[in-house]
Chains A and B, each alone.
Chain A
Amino acid sequence: MKNIYSSFLSILFAFTAILFLTTCKKESQNGFVHLHFNHAVGTEELVLNNAWYPCAAGHLFSVVRLKYYTSNFSMHRSDGTAFQVNEAHYRDAETPETESFTLKDVPNGEYTGLSFILGLDEAANVDGGLPNTTTNINMEWPLPGDQGYHYMKLEGKYDSLSTGVLRNFNLHTGATGGNQNYVEISLLFHHPMRLNGDTWNISLAMDLEEWLEHPHVYDFDAFEPTIMGNQDAQQALKENGADVFSVTSVERE
């Protein structure tokens, strides 16, 4: 008898749960935000290999590879609260699938901006901190004494001393000598995003020129060939990195 009673109860419970869930679904409290990353040099869209761009130190440079992590996304609301997603996302300018991802279950509300990390925070940036995929393994930062992963690999060629002699440059950023060196990015939307159970697209752009000009004029000649363990180079790039991103559009789908 008791058994029948309890199974009746659990069926009743399941029913109300389903009812509850389906009614919730109807007027959803959550929406989706698609984030798209574009890469540019000044006003031009980045073209890999063979496109030459000027930089603040006076060299022409071209880009062969661009790979990096972003992590710890926070969507900020006008009331000062935030919605946070900590996972890391890998991006490779050669692989379009990596240039966008979706924040799911973002609560309804009025959002005024977003912030994230270029690179990885202390918790993720340890050996084995990311899932053991071949992609993550290829980003490892194996310098003896250091830990974790490359935050960014920006590689290419430049015209050294503007003499026509080409040299290679590698802007490889990461943690070294106990300095974390990740870049905290904080961006405001031009107009608030009123999320109401719907889907929004946010486009961001990384301007590669910004790595090389503000507040430090970064001269490849001064730092190549070794920058991974060179905290002066890492510090300059960390400070320059703060304004490499901008919001290009925020639109309802």
Chain B
Amino acid sequence: MKPALFYLIFFGILSGLLGCKKDHVENVPPGQDWTYDPTPFEIKAPASFPILNIPVGNPTTVEGVKLGRMLYYDPVLHSDSLRACASCHSQERSFTSDPPVLPHVNLAWNTSFLWNGKVEGALEDIMLFEVKEFFKTDLEKLQNHQDYPKLFYEAFGARTITHELCAKALSQFQRTLISGKSKYDRVLEGTNWVFLTDEELNGFDIFFTEKGDCFHCHGGILFTDNSFHNNALDASPEPARSAITSNPADVGKFKSPTLRNIELTGPYMHDGRYETLEEVVDFYSEGLKTSETVDPLMKSLHLGGKHLTTQEKSDLIAFLKSLTDTAFIADTALASPFH
């Protein structure tokens, strides 16, 4: 290496280091005994779940998940200090509350977020949106907090708290909200002699064949195709996804919600128009409304619906209820850490 170049790089690095140092001096709270030595956290999902892609810039750690969980349950994150994420996303209802709040279930596998898909990408992207634009998190409040500076240091080795780091911690916690222990899952695993009842099994057949044809949008092990559809709710549909894409073909298209824990997340649809699953199934059976962008997967649109019998309807609902994961809503590792 030429000496001149060497000195240039040397001084570059030196001034970089000094620059950082200055930052530290401003933000160092009392207590220099903090350590940054995060422990990897293993995310445990059922084997049948899809391959999980975790962004390289945000590996899951015990410290990160712990911090994310605290932030999720702490109103300090909101600029008004009155609401936490969990105020609307409540565990006993599979991390939702009343519509239009979307539940937090297996979002680690999601790539488009919100009813109209306004945010696309990884969890880090939606979490940054939530922190910065929705909660307008006041970073100074966190920086001056008695606990958080240390927790951020332990999770990320950083002394300056940023919106990005809040989003990273929330994402790490969010990746642990995995629901895969419903009765249906236990039947799939084939252990412990758990079986579907005749009604549930018949409902399964309706769901996973063209008889009810729910699976093309709510299928797979995650019970969502992670895509957008107009499911024929209205004769004059809302702009929905077209508000984001400006594509007239996207009028009336909303994200297919997962049907895992659907028993817990009513009322249903983005506007909560249906109180019960019975009403939802009646809609798919005889309540379809034609409009230009109705999804071609709604094959019985011209007949107004699938015309299921009363027995078929209640069997379908019995199957949907086999997707309820009571272990998930009782999991203390996902509950509020402030008690």
Give chain A's interface residues, CB within 8 Å of chain B.
Answer: 48-50, 64-65, 131-134, 137-138, 140, 142-144, 155-157, 160, 165-170, 224-229
B118 at the interface (CB under 8 A from A): no
Shortest Cβ distance from A158 into B: residue: B296
CA distance A69 to B51 in the complex (A): 20
Q: Which residues on A sit within 8 Å (CB–CB) of B48? A: 132
Q: Which residues on B sit within 8 Å (CB–CB) of A64? A: 249, 295-296
State the majority secondary structure of interface residues on B.
loop
CA distance A234 to B122 in the complex (A): 38
Q: Which of B34-42, B95-103, B144-152, B202-210 contacts A (4 or more CB under 8 A)?
A: B202-210
CA distance A36 to B210 in the complex (A): 33
Give the most central of B111, B299, B300: most A CB within 10 Å.
B299
B22 at the interface (CB under 8 A from A): no
B199 to chain A, nearest CB (A): 15
B222 close to A168 (CB less than 8 A): no
Q: Which residues on B sit within 8 Å (CB–CB) of A170? A: 296-297, 299
Q: Which residues on A sit within 8 Å (CB–CB) of B220? A: 134, 137-138, 140
A138 to chain B, nearest CB (A): 5
A165 close to B209 (CB less than 8 A): no
B219 at the interface (CB under 8 A from A): yes
CB-defined A-B contacts under 8 Å, sample of 29 = A64-B249, A64-B295, A133-B50, A134-B111, A134-B222, A137-B219, A137-B221, A137-B222, A138-B227, A140-B215, A140-B219, A142-B215, A144-B209, A155-B296, A156-B296, A165-B302, A166-B290, A166-B302, A167-B301, A168-B296, A168-B298, A170-B296, A170-B299, A224-B299, A225-B210, A226-B209, A226-B210, A228-B210, A229-B210
Contact of A143 (CB < 8 Å), options: B111, B209, B221, B294: B209
CA distance A50 to B249 in the complex (A): 8
Q: Which residues on A sit within 8 Å (CB–CB) of B300? A: 225
